[in-house]
Amino acid sequence: MVVQSPHSLQSSVPTPNNGTKRVQILVKENGSAVTDNVAGQRRASARLQAAKQKAEMELLAKRKLELLNEDVGRSTKKVNVDAEKLKPKLQPAQTVIQQLPEISSLPADPKINKKVAKMVERAAKIAEGLDGTNAPNVAEKSAHMKVKETIRLFNKHYLHFVQEEEKRCGAAKVDKKALKAKKKANRGSVSEADVKAKAKRPDLKAISKMMERNEVLYPEKRIGSIPGIDVGHRFYSRAEMVAVGFHSHWLNGIDYMGQSYKKGEYEHYIFPLAVAIVLSGMYEDDLDNAEDVVYTGQGGHDLTGNKRQIRDQVLERGNLALKNCVDLGVTVRVVRGHECANSYSGKVYTYDGLYKVVHYWAEKGISGFTVFKYRLRRLEGQPTLTTSQVHFTYGRVPQCPSEIRGLVCEDISGGQEVVPIPATNLVDDPPVAPTGYQYSKSMKFARNIKLPANAAGCDCKGLCWDPKTCACARLNGSDFPYVHRDGGRLIEAKHVVFECGPKCGCDPSCVNRTSQRGLKYRLEVSYYCKKNHSARF
Residue 518, exposed/middle/buried by CB under 10 A (0-12, 13-18, 19+)?
exposed
Instruction: Place 135 in a pLDDT band, splitting at 50, 70 and 90.
Output: very low
Nearest-10 Cα torsion for 131, 136, 137, 140? -150
Q: Contact, 434 vs 423, CB < 8 A?
A: yes
Residue 177 pLDDT level (bands cut at 50, 70, 90): low
Non-local (6+) Cβ contacts of 329 within 8 A are 356
Distance CA 211, CA 226 (A): 19
Give the H or E element holding residue 257.
Answer: strand 254-257
Confidence of residue 316 (pLDDT cuts 50, 70, 90): very high
The pLDDT assigned to 518 comes to: 84
- Find the helix packing angle between 143-186 and 202-212, rounded to 10°: 130
Judge whether residue 402 has pLDDT over 90: no
Contact criterion met (CB below 8 Å) for 158 and 206: yes
Q: Determine phi and psi for 535, rounding to 5 degrees.
A: -80, 135
Pairwise pLDDT comparison (523 vs 323), residue with the higher score: 323
| 294: phi then psi, degrees, rounded to nearest 5 | -110, 110
Whether residue 508 contacts residue 517, with contact meaning beta carbons closer than 8 Å, is answered with: yes
Q: What is the DSSP letter of 520?
A: -
Amino acid 388: pLDDT: 64
- With 90 as the cut, is the pLDDT of residue 248 above it? yes
Burial readout 396-429 (b: 16 or more C-beta within 10 A, e: otherwise): eeeeeeeeeebbbbeebbeeebeebbbbbbeeee
Say which amino acid occupies 66. Answer: E
What mean pLDDT comes out for the span 427-442?
Answer: 86
Torsion, Cα 240 245 249 253, to 10 degrees, reads: -90
Give the confidence band of 345 by pLDDT, cuts at 50, 70, 90: confident
Per-residue pLDDT at 263: 83
- The candidate with the shortest Cα–Cα distance to 373, out of 297, 276, 300, 274, is 297
Q: What is the pLDDT of residues 8-62, one digit of tens each?
A: 334 444 444 444 444 444 434 444 444 444 444 444 456 666 767 777 777 777 7
CA distances from 445 to 89, 440, 451, 493 (A): 60, 12, 9, 21
Per DSSP bridges, beta strands 234-235 and 33-39 are unpaired
Rounded to whole angstroms, the Cα distance separating 54 from 453 reads 61
CA atoms within 13 Å, Cβ hemisphere of 380 = 0
Instruction: With a cut of 50, say whether residue 461 has pLDDT above it.
Output: yes
Q: What is the pLDDT of residue 199?
A: 54
Q: What angle do CA 520, 523, 529 make, to 5 degrees?
A: 150
Residue among 405, 406, 404 nearest 429 (CA): 406
Confidence tier at 535 by pLDDT (50, 70, 90) = very low
Residue whose C-alpha is closest to residue 407's, from 433, 377, 388, 376: 433
Q: How confident is the model at residue 117 (pLDDT cuts 50, 70, 90)?
A: low
Q: What is the C-alpha to C-alpha distance for residues 92 and 495, in angstroms, rounded to an integer?
A: 49
| pLDDT (0 to 100) of residue 140 | 79
CB 477 within 8 A of CB 498: no
Tell me: pLDDT of 244 over 60. Answer: yes
Residue 123: predicted pLDDT: 52
Closest CA to 331 of 421, 241, 223: 223
**Which amino acid belongs to residue 386?**
T
In the predicted structure, residue 183 carries a pLDDT above the cut 90: no
Q: Which residues contact 173 (CB under 8 A, 6 or more apart)?
A: none
Per-residue pLDDT, 79: 40
Where residue 531 falls (left for φ over 0; alpha for ψ -120 to 50; beta otherwise) is left
Mean pLDDT of 251-255: 92
Stretch 115-133: mean pLDDT, rounded? 51
Q: Is residue 88's pLDDT more than 70?
A: no
d(CA 515, CA 526): 23
Higher pLDDT: 108 or 443? It is 443
pLDDT of res. 149: 94
Residues 465-502 pLDDT 10s:
888 899 999 999 888 999 988 778 899 888 889 999 98
The more confidently predicted of residues 18 and 164 is 164
Rounded to whole angstroms, the Cα distance separating 231 from 383 reads 7
pLDDT 10s digits, 199-213: 578 999 999 999 999
Name the nearest CA neighbour of 488 among 463, 466, 467, 513.
513
Under DSSP, the state recorded for 291 is T
* Domains of the chain from N-terminus onward: 202-378 (2.30.280.10), 398-443+452-536 (2.170.270.10)
Once rounded to an integer, what is the mean pLDDT over residues 318-336? Answer: 95
241 pLDDT above the threshold of 50: yes
Q: Angle formed by the axes of helices 110-128 and 46-75, to 10°?
A: 30
**Which of these ranges, 39-53, 165-179, 435-449, has the smallest mean pLDDT?**
39-53
pLDDT at 60: 74
pLDDT, residue 167, reads 81
Residues whose CB falls within 8 Å of the CB of residue 68, separated by 6 or more in sequence, listed in order: 93, 96, 119, 122, 123
Query: Is the pLDDT confidence value at 156 over 60?
Result: yes
Indicate the helix (H) or strand (E) that contains 276: strand 273-279
> Does residue 342 have a pLDDT over 80?
no
**Euclidean distance between CA atoms 370 and 368, whole angstroms:** 7
What does residue 437 show for φ and ψ, rounded to 5 degrees? -130, 165
What is the pLDDT of the chain when averaged over all its residues? 76
pLDDT of residue 153: 95
Looking at the chain, how many residues does it have?
537
- Please give the distance of CA 118 from its chain centroid, rounded to a whole number: 36
pLDDT-derived band of residue 336, with 50, 70 and 90 as boundaries? very high
pLDDT of residue 273: 96
The mean pLDDT value for 121-141 works out to 52
Question: Could you give the C-alpha distances from 267 to 172, 270, 375, 438, 472, in angstroms and in order?
Answer: 53, 8, 26, 65, 58
